[in-house]
Amino acid sequence: MSPLLRRASEQTQSDWREIPEGVYRFRLGVPTLKNDEKFGMRVVFPLQVSLADQNRILEDLGPTQLGQQQSFRTTYRVGLSLGYVGRKDGQYHSTKLVDMLASVLGSTNVKKFREWIAQGGGPPRPADQDDDKAELALIEEWLRWWEDLEVYGTVTHRDRADGGVWTDFAGPIAVGSMPGQRDDEYQALGRGKLRALIADSGETRESKAREARANGEAPPAVRFTAEGEEVRGDGTPELPF
């Protein structure tokens, strides 16, 4: 019979029971940036299943066995891009990052956030726009606006090469989108967050264009590469933000 209290030298890696496949409500940790050798700069969203859904999982699966722990955490990784306005169609093209950020603000705030991003909204930029390190620091600080907010999402499993299981989050769904779950309090929280981050993030391209027109000036020209990336005045592509 194994001892109830194992010595540190007797401990092995914990046996984790994964989050079951299904739809759950998640709370966000602090989003961070990570440079992936294959995919480039990524935004990593730490996610934890809400307390209500944690209790539901334990009720459905029953208690864990000795030496086993129930996982309630996963992550969601997306590319660092706020989308672009197509050169040919003039339409805004969204990204997984924008879809996630919009959803986390609540169902009644999704449209306004997307409109703000399409107009050139985003995190503040450093005085020296060629200072990539300073810009990344501002982006990480901006992403903190989404800490402790919530979103629904679907969990699926994939087999790992080592015999384990990957727990994947996908398809962010804004709180308030589920039938009978409007959650007015959360919508007000998201609305306040959106107002604050817009005020903190500085002017958008549209506001600068309005100011230029009011001063009798031509609004700044916006050019794009064939891939839809905005081009600086010196002819070099802009960063995704």
Residue 41 placed within a domain: yes
In a domain, 220, yes or no: no
> How confident is the model over 225-240, as pLDDT tens digits?
444 444 444 444 444 4
The confidence score (pLDDT) of residue 233 equals 42
Pairwise CA distance, residues 23 & 162, whole Å: 26
**Residue 189, in any domain of the structure:** yes
Biggest CA–CA distance in the chain, Å, is 86
Residue with tokens 């995190």: 123
pLDDT greater at residue 164 or residue 141: 141
pLDDT band at 127 (very low <50, low <70, confident <90, very high): confident
Instruction: Please indicate whether residue 88 or residue 79 has the higher confidence score (pLDDT).
Output: 79
In a domain, 175, yes or no: yes
> For the whole model, what pTM was predicted?
0.77
Specify the pLDDT at position 163: 81
**Closest among 171, 186, 51 to 107, alpha carbons compared:** 186
C-alpha triplet 193, 199, 201: angle, nearest 5°: 95
Count other C-beta atoms under 10 Å from residue 83's C-beta: 18
216 assigned to some structural domain: no
Write out pLDDT tens, residues 128-151: 888 889 999 999 999 999 999 999
Kindly indicate the confidence band of residue 63, based on its pLDDT and cuts at 50, 70 and 90. Answer: confident
Q: Is residue 225 part of a domain?
A: no
Q: Which range marks the domain in which residue 181 is found?
A: 15-204
Mean pLDDT of 30-35: 96
Q: Is the pLDDT of residue 207 over 80?
A: no
Number of structural domains in the chain: 1
Token pair in block for residue 158:
């994939």
Is a pLDDT exceeding 70 seen at residue 224? Answer: no
**Mean of pLDDT values over 53-74:** 92
